[in-house]
Structures are given as structure tokens and as C-alpha cells.
Amino acid sequence: MKKHISLEFFSELYIAFNKPYGVISQFTPKAGYITLKKFDFPKGVYPCGRLDADSEGLLILTNDGYFNQILTNPKYKKIKTYWAQVERIIDEEALLKIRNGIVLNDGPTLPAEIKIMEEPALSPRIPPIRYRKTVPTSWVELKIREGRNRQVRRMLAHVGYPVLRLFRYSIGDVNTSSLEIGQWRYLSEDEILNLKKERK
């Protein structure tokens, strides 16, 4: 979504984007994929980390390299909140394992916060998730302080609950509540300052 704001007075830009399913977190063209170029961002911004093509939700972009480091380096312990729809009704044993930390093929995870939640009011995914009448689904809210490749999906699969839909709702205090899928906005001054706080 284009913002009709003159950028000539801004040296540093900070953007929250509600990324749709099927979009890759890069501007460089890649055969078969929609890239960030489609969404008319101001020149010079790049994503802080990534959100896989099959995941949706909050992606922050900036031209501030230090800010990018603060968001992506796990030593700064920025909390990322995900909503995940999983196959079957997740049980307390699986939740406890994730809360305590589990061992993936690239090492142990930090303890995470996880709880069962009601289905969130998200726009329908395009294309929709696969649906099987004989297999129920459930939703969980998961908060992590790391950012490994496909970490949330791997954690939930490890405890026996494959992810059907994954949506990143927030990073720190910044969330997607004011954004429709495919829309973006500039971060407020308070949001920027809060994210820049180094909690080592």
C-alpha cells in the first residue's frame, strides 16, 4: 500500500508490513514467487530478518543497519509472537516440552511461552489450508526470543503437531492489529524507541 508522505525529510525509515502468504522476504526477483517489490516500499529499506513464503504477518523493514541488528540478533531478546494453527488438538504434554525447551537438529531451543488460544480473526488465507474432516485443528500462541530458520514450525512438528498456518502477530510492542494483509505503515516514534532498547 503506497503512503503519500514526502520522504525527503527522513534519513531513517522504519516500516511495519503485514506480509501475505506466498510472498518472499526479499526484493530480488525469484522465479515463481512474489517479492517485496510489489508493495511499493520507499527505496533503500530492507527486511529485518525474514518471514518464510508460507508464513504470514509482521515483517519490519528499515534502512537503519543498527536497528536491523537489534531486531535480528538473539542476544537482544526481542520477543516475537506467533499464532499457529496445528493439526489435532494440542495437549499439555506438548506445551510443557516447548515451555522447557526442546532439542532440534541445530541444538536446544530456549524455553518459550506457549498457550492454547481461540481461533484469531484473520482474513482467510489464499490459498486456503488443506482441510480434512477427520482431523481437527487447534490454535496456539507462541512467544520466542530466537529466530532460527523455520523455528516455530520445527518446534511444533517436533512435539507431534504439524503447522497448517503460521502468522507472526508481533515483534516487541509492534503488531499487525491496524494492518490488513498486504498493507504497511510507518512505525511511531514510541515504537521505534521501544524496539531500540537493548535488553541484553
C-alpha cell at 119: 481461533
Q: Please tell me which residue in 52, 64, 173, 190 is annotated as part of the active site.
A: 52
Whether 52 is a known active-site residue: answer: yes
Cβ atoms of 50 and 27 within 8 Å: the answer is no
Helix (H, G, I), strand (E, B) or coil at 112: coil
Measured in degrees and rounded to the nearest 5, phi and psi for residue 97 equal -60, -45
C-alpha cell at 41: 516500499
Q: How many residues does the chain have?
A: 200
Task: With CA atoms as reference, report the closest residue to 196 among 81, 82, 65.
Answer: 65
In b/e form, how buried is each residue of 41-75, taking b as 16+ CB within 10 angstroms? bbeebebbeebbbebbbbbbbbbbeebbebbeeee
| SS3 of the chain: helix, strand, coil, percent, to 5 | 20, 30, 50
Q: Which residues are catalytic?
A: 52
